[in-house]
Amino acid sequence: MKFTDMLQAAEARNGSLLCVGLDPEPAKFPGDWKGDASRIHDFCAAIVEATHDLVSCFKPQIAYFAAHRAEEQLERLIQHIRRVAPGVPVILDAKRGDIGATAQQYAKEAFERYQADALTLSPFMGLDSIEPYMDAYPDKGLILLCRTSNPGGSDLQAQRLEGGELLYERVARLAQGAWNRHGQLGLVVGATFPAEIERVRELAPTLPLLIPGVGAQGGDAASTIRAGLRPGGTVMVNSSRAVLYASAGADFATAARAEAQRTRDTLNAARGG
């Protein structure tokens, strides 16, 4: 099944626009697990089990696994998601950006080794940094950095190009149009910039938008929905730390579920659902 179809089905089935980010930090683990990187899989698996019916997708961030030599745990975690939450897509957040044979290897890593359904990419080397993923994996989602939530994103993304448009606007226009050969592209737009979310949605009316920055980073969930959600153009509103570390105690999974449900309900209220 294509990523976009999986996402649409999971959104409808779980009544959710929430993406739970899996960014495991052993120093924040509860109880006896605190500081123990061998428990990364166990911690994330508990979060998945607690929230699987409340989300439209999960988004593991590869750096949080690789930094602890936990890539094998990431493989097992994605397999676990398949068992616990069949049909819920997995976005591997790796922000890859390279060309040619190197990009082919990154694609193989994401889609064959980890069996992800989508991958975040940096488009700033141009179309030929995206083509190796499109050519070999036309059913997988490719979610391009567009207008990111960090303040420094303005250093480049908000620069005005010849002709008048801003760089992030050019990315959105290309992703909606000439680059989107197989209908598999999406865009990353930060929740901390609701006006820019709305502008991206104008330029890319049908692309799924992955929107980080809600929760710990200060983005407002209701404003995000009003700016980005349109008929035919869905959003995946990501919350990571607010869900994962809702409690530092033995009840961490229960607390994670409660926070995920609260966020899902807030998002649904904003869209009138």
Contact present, 145 and 120 (Cβ < 8 Å) = yes
Query: Which position among 34, 95, 108, 140 bears the catalytic label?
Result: 95
Residue 273 to residue 269: CA distance in whole angstroms: 6
Q: What integer pLDDT is reported at residue 193 of this predicted model?
A: 80
Q: Can you give the pLDDT at residue 273?
A: 56
Only one residue has tokens 């605190």, namely: 34
Tell me whether residue 95 is one of the annotated catalytic residues. Answer: yes
| Confidence band of 215 (pLDDT split at 50, 70, 90) | low
Residue 76 has pLDDT above 60, yes or no: yes
Binned at pLDDT 50, 70 and 90, residue 218 comes out as very low
pLDDT greater than 60 at residue 153:
yes
Domains and CATH numbers, the chain: 3-271 (3.20.20.70)
Q: What is the pTM of this model?
A: 0.95
d(CA 123, CA 99): 10
Q: How far, CA to CA in Å, does 80 sit from each of 58, 73, 126, 259, 261?
A: 12, 10, 35, 22, 21
Task: Give the CA angle between residues 267, 82, 229 to the nearest 5°.
Answer: 20
pLDDT category, 21, cuts 50, 70, 90? Answer: very high
pLDDT digits (tens, 9 = 90+) for 198-211: 999 999 999 999 99
Q: What is the pLDDT of residues 115-124, one digit of tens each?
A: 999 999 999 9
CB 43 within 8 A of CB 29: yes
- 57 pLDDT more than 70: yes
**Mean pLDDT, residues 5-17:** 97
Looking at residue 149, its pLDDT comes to 82
Within 13 Å and on the Cβ side, how many CA atoms surround 261? 9
Strand order in the sheet with 91-96: 57-60, 18-22, 235-239, 209-211, 185-189, 141-147, 118-121, 91-96
The closest of 268, 245, 264 to 256, measured between CA atoms, is 245
